[in-house]
Amino acid sequence: MAENEYKPQTNFIREIIKEDIKNSKYGGRVHTRFPPEPNGYLHIGHAKSICLNFGLASEFGGLCNLRFDDTNPTKEEVEYVESIKNDVRWLGFDWGDRLFYASDYFDQLYQYAVQLIKFGNAYVCDLSPQEIRDYRGTLTEPGKESPYRKRSVGENLDLFERMRAGEFEEGFRTLRAKIDMKAGNLNMRDPVIYRILKATHHRTGDKWCIYPMYDFAHCISDSIERITHSICTMEFEDHRPLYDWFLDQLGIYHPQQIEFARLNLSYTLLSKRKLIELVERGYVRGWDDPRMPTLSGLRRRGYTTESIRDFCERIGVAKRESLVDIALLEHCLREDLNKRSPRVMAVLRPLKVVIVNYPDDLLEEMEAINNPEDPGMGTRKVPFSRVIYIEKDDFREEPPKKFYRLAPGREIRLRYAYFIKCVDFIKDEKTGEVIELHCTYDAATKGGDAPDKRKVKATLHWISAAHALEAEIRLYEHLFTKENPGDLEEGQDFKVYINPNSLITLKSCYIEPTLRNTEPGDFYQFERLGYFCVDPDTINGKLVFNRTVTLKDTWAKIEKMQKGK
């Protein structure tokens, strides 16, 4: 669809892989993996990584595993595992029979730890968390060696076994790699590789009370799975020497790690911690709130997998920190939706219009095109009668410059129907608000064309009052008012930038009767307004729509500029 004419650009990872294949590194094999921790929902930033890992694998005839890095039972849940699997599938990727968990490797990981101890490369340390911190030194000062660093292999083996057996309390002992307390790279200052956690794991239950740290488990998991290219984000760049160390000490298979910059999106936050906070403190309705940048949120909002994949291709892959304009995501969305969405008419803020010279008892069916971008989608009949609704925004008592729509004395076209001219309007006496229009129609313009070739400047959408379906419509804007809500002043709370207008609910909107049997997941273009989809809250005939994205709106831009003057 969207990728018809678009030539994907290359990126440095693709070039590395091409080179590796050419040189027969890993025997020309390409095997990647997407390794999420099941402690939250996936967001658009993960989509970038998923598209990269699965995309590269399929491009080069390789494989991509889905592996959960589930080494911290205090934070991980089955709910997250399920949502992640669902989201990856939704994006259109298939891990085949290669669904793995770091917890699958706990026995092996334990054996590797024992091996490290036997080689004299790891020791059981009795320092408290605070002491470990103190001994680590700082960014500019070297650390001090732990007094337990010189324990004998035999003692270490015994202690580690007893850690496993549950003899010690949490925090009282750890297993540490014996590397270099003076290293400039803090990751090499005798990192903890096993800690005591008396927590039930979502997969291994109570089998273990010691759990490997991420750094230890991750690189070995990649090794076990014989991953060729371990693609990860930049912050792991200085963990790479540690991974190299583990793998070299153990003498096991060594994947190649390649780091790239994570995605940042304007007016959006992609920090798991902050997204969790939005959900748990009720700033949004849940992980799938249509304002959330989570894949489940985007899905409910009406984003298509095609548009997200297109976006991930277009943003490219590089190592520098960047802030991608959310307008690009919206562009990809509109481009996809424009080609696929059936057109339909809906009035968000209704203004009653009586066509005074139209027969009281007449009902006509106007033929409307379902999608001008795709004639194959056919036409439909839309009922027309004497009383209709138009959009409040489409009438001005005193039209400003460049306002082409309806105004007293002005003639416009009703889409697929007639030319009408406004001859009178009624105001609410108290508020002064225009509440009803009187118009005349020209019977000769049926269908929307004037035999005398006269032109009108505007075409408006409308709904026949007698046939209108009522619906609730939810309008969304960016969740944050600040372009980069992740960039905060010292001590500032990101929540002060939450957009108070990010959700506006309109309760009495009118839509075409042709949508009577529409169902959650269906999507449409409401002509002149935007793309909308049916929300799962649609039950028992009560229709609820989400505005996925507006159409580009030239008039809104002009009006904003006029007001800005």
Within residues 247-266, the interface with RNA by CB under 7 A covers 261
Residue 189 DSSP label = S
Q: Given 33, 37, 176, 391, which residue is catalytic?
A: 37
Q: Given 25, 85, 149, 272, which residue is catalytic?
A: 272
Burial 462-499 (b: 16+ CB within 10 A, else e): bbbbebbbebbbbbbbbbbebeebbeeeeeeebeebbb
Stretch that binds RNA, among 86-94, 132-140, 244-252, 354-362 (CB under 7 A): 132-140
**Residue from 128, 200, 357, 492 in contact with RNA (CB under 7 A):** 128
Place of tokens 């005591």: 196
262 is catalytic: yes
Q: How far is the CB of 537 from RNA (least distance, A)?
A: 25
**Residue from 108, 119, 165, 172 in contact with RNA (CB under 7 A):** 172
Q: How far is the CB of 52 from RNA (least distance, A)?
A: 12
- List the beta strands (DSSP E) in 310-460: 343-344, 346-347, 350-355, 364-369, 379-384, 387-391, 411-414, 419-427, 434-441, 459-460
Q: How far is the CB of 27 from RNA (least distance, A)?
A: 26
Q: Residue 459, interface with RNA (CB under 7 A)? A: yes
**Residue from 1, 78, 165, 234 in contact with RNA (CB under 7 A):** 234
**Residue from 447, 451, 500, 541 in contact with RNA (CB under 7 A):** 447
User: How far is it, in rounded angstroms, from Cα 51 to Cα 182?
Assistant: 39
Q: How far is the CB of 156 from RNA (least distance, A)?
A: 16
User: How far is it, in rounded angstroms, from Cα 191 to Cα 122?
Assistant: 10
One-character DSSP codes across 253-290: ---EEEEEPPP-BTT----HHHHHHHHHTTSSSSTT-T
| Beta sheet of 63-68, edge-to-edge order | 31-34, 63-68, 99-101
220: amino acid identity, one letter: I
Give whichever of 215 and 289 is closer to RNA, judged by the CB atom.
215
Binding mask 317-356 for RNA (x = CB under 7 A): xxxxxxxxx-xx--x--xx--x----x-------------
Q: Residue 218, interface with RNA (CB under 7 A)? A: yes
**Cα–Cα distances in Å, from 424 out to 177, 402, 438, 443?**
85, 22, 5, 19
**Residue from 97, 139, 564, 565 in contact with RNA (CB under 7 A):** 139
CB-based contact 297:290 (threshold 8 Å): yes
**Residue from 154, 426, 553, 562 in contact with RNA (CB under 7 A):** 553
Q: How far is the CB of 271 from RNA (least distance, A)?
A: 11
Q: How far is the CB of 308 from RNA (least distance, A)?
A: 15
Q: Residue 378, interface with RNA (CB under 7 A)? A: no
Q: How far is the CB of 542 from RNA (least distance, A)?
A: 26
Stretch that binds RNA, among 44-52, 85-93, 231-239, 274-282 (CB under 7 A): 231-239
- The CA radius of gyration of the chain, in Å to the nearest whole number, is 31
**Residue from 43, 48, 164, 173 in contact with RNA (CB under 7 A):** 173
Q: Is residue 518 packed enough to be buried (19+ CB in 10 Å), middle (13-18) or exposed (0-12)? A: buried
Within residues 474-493, the interface with RNA by CB under 7 A covers none
CB-based contact 438:457 (threshold 8 Å): no
50: number of Cβ within 10 Å:
25
Give whichever of 301 and 405 is closer to RNA, judged by the CB atom.
405
Give whichever of 201 and 386 is closer to RNA, judged by the CB atom.
201
**Cα–Cα distances in Å, from 357 out to 295, 315, 413, 437?**
52, 56, 16, 13
**Residue from 101, 211, 246, 389 in contact with RNA (CB under 7 A):** 211
CB-based contact 42:83 (threshold 8 Å): yes
Give whichever of 186 and 506 is closer to RNA, judged by the CB atom.
186
**Cα–Cα distances in Å, from 103 out to 94, 99, 107?**
21, 12, 9
Give whichever of 409 and 447 is closer to RNA, judged by the CB atom.
447
Stretch that binds RNA, among 16-24, 288-296, 509-517, 556-564 (CB under 7 A): 556-564
**Residue from 191, 297, 302, 485 in contact with RNA (CB under 7 A):** 191
User: How far is it, in rounded angstroms, from Cα 284 to Cα 275?
Assistant: 9
Binding mask 391-430 for RNA (x = CB under 7 A): -----------xxxx-------x-xx--------------
One-character DSSP codes across 211-224: EE-HHHHHHHHHHH
Q: How far is the CB of 309 from RNA (least distance, A)?
A: 14
Stretch that binds RNA, among 16-24, 84-92, 181-189, 432-440 (CB under 7 A): 181-189
Give whichever of 121 and 338 is closer to RNA, judged by the CB atom.
338
Stretch that binds RNA, among 84-92, 314-322, 421-429, 462-470 (CB under 7 A): 314-322
Element (H, E) at 195: strand 192-196
397: amino acid identity, one letter: E
**Residue from 1, 12, 78, 120 in contact with RNA (CB under 7 A):** 12
Pull the structure tokens for residue 40: 């939250």
User: How far is it, in rounded angstroms, from Cα 58 to Cα 465?
Assistant: 53
Q: Given 198, 262, 319, 392, which residue is catalytic?
A: 262
Listed in sequence order, the residues at least 6 apart from 301 whose beta carbon sits closer than 8 Å to its beta carbon are 290, 291, 476, 533, 546, 548
CB-based contact 211:197 (threshold 8 Å): yes
Q: How far is the CB of 403 from RNA (least distance, A)?
A: 4
Stretch that binds RNA, among 146-154, 382-390, 462-470, 549-557 (CB under 7 A): 549-557
Give whichever of 267 and 425 is closer to RNA, judged by the CB atom.
267
One-character DSSP codes across 454-503: ---S-EE--EEGGGPEEEEEEEE--SBSSS-TT---TT--GGGGB-TTSE
Within residues 60-99, the interface with RNA by CB under 7 A covers 69, 71-72, 75
Pull the structure tokens for residue 189: 């200052």
Q: How far is the CB of 507 from RNA (least distance, A)?
A: 24
**Residue from 31, 164, 178, 195 in contact with RNA (CB under 7 A):** 195
37 is catalytic: yes
Pull the structure tokens for residue 262: 């994570």
Give whichever of 141 and 519 is closer to RNA, judged by the CB atom.
141
Q: Catalytic amino acids?
A: 37, 262, 272
